[in-house]
Amino acid sequence: MDIKQIFKNYDQDGNNYILKADAKNRWCGFNKNTIDKLYNKYNANFNIVIWGTKSDSDYYCIPYKSIEHLFTPEHMTKGKLAEQGNKRWGVTIDNHVFKMHSNSKYSVNIEKFYGKHESVIIEDYEEIREHFAAFQAKVESSLQDSGAKRRVRLQAAATRPARVLALTHVYARNPDVVAEVLVRATGVCEVCRKPAPFRRAKDSSPYLEVHHKIQLADNGEDTVENAIAVCPNCHRQAHFGED
């Protein structure tokens, strides 16, 4: 099997980082420059594809978001190559557990990503970017309305958003929910209670992100009551931090 018939690698303008791993322990190394290039282009919306040769389904397709928290400077490989500027992370996979070579305690179970490519996040990145750009425009339009108008629309709005298929499901969120939560927060993170860390270049408004307390993917509602405005740090902690 040619894995590149299923996935388009980053060197083919795809959003996948494809690596072949040793059959015994699935050891592989991730180049920091490659990770940075993918992140700069797709944010965290790309996949790590690790494949062997045992069968046509002998591969993992791992959304980077699910392992992003492991790729930190302290987990990089040490030694002469690192000193010469060859920065990378060493990883092994044992019994479907993705482990950092620097410290195997830092690990993630990736069994659900084995032999499946339904987890591919984005192939047509422009389509997804246009979707979110259009949504952001609706949020900005909603912010221009009065709170009374937004609340009238919110009372009539569906609480379960429609899903839009783009090789994965993204949610057609209600811009009025985002706008109302941002207005409620008055520029202050509703978790750490600190002011927004910076202002948007576009309109000087405080930069906060709207996070669902119960995730939409977990059947949470797209409502003001189920959403909070958070700073980027608290948002990342909500997704990747310990309970």
Q: Which residues contact 126 (CB under 8 A, 6 or more apart)?
A: none
- The answer to whether 163 and 172 have CB atoms below 8 angstroms apart is yes
In this prediction, residue 83 has a pLDDT band, given cuts at 50, 70 and 90, of low
pLDDT given at position 209: 92
pLDDT given at position 55: 63
DSSP assigned state of 188: B
| Percent of the chain with pLDDT strictly greater than 70 | 79
180 has pLDDT over 90: yes
201 has pLDDT over 90: no
- The answer to whether 7 and 16 have CB atoms below 8 angstroms apart is yes
**Choice between 177 and 219, residue whose per-residue pLDDT is larger:** 177
CA 115 vs CA 62, 75, 121: distances in Å: 10, 27, 15
In whole angstroms, what is the distance from residue 179 CA to residue 174 CA?
9
123 has pLDDT over 50: no
**Choice between 33 and 135, residue whose per-residue pLDDT is larger:** 33
192 has pLDDT over 80: yes
pLDDT given at position 157: 82
113 has pLDDT over 70: yes
pLDDT given at position 120: 44
In whole angstroms, what is the distance from residue 231 CA to residue 79 CA?
37
In whole angstroms, what is the distance from residue 99 CA to residue 50 CA?
13
pLDDT given at position 197: 94
CB neighbours of residue 91 within 10 Å: 25
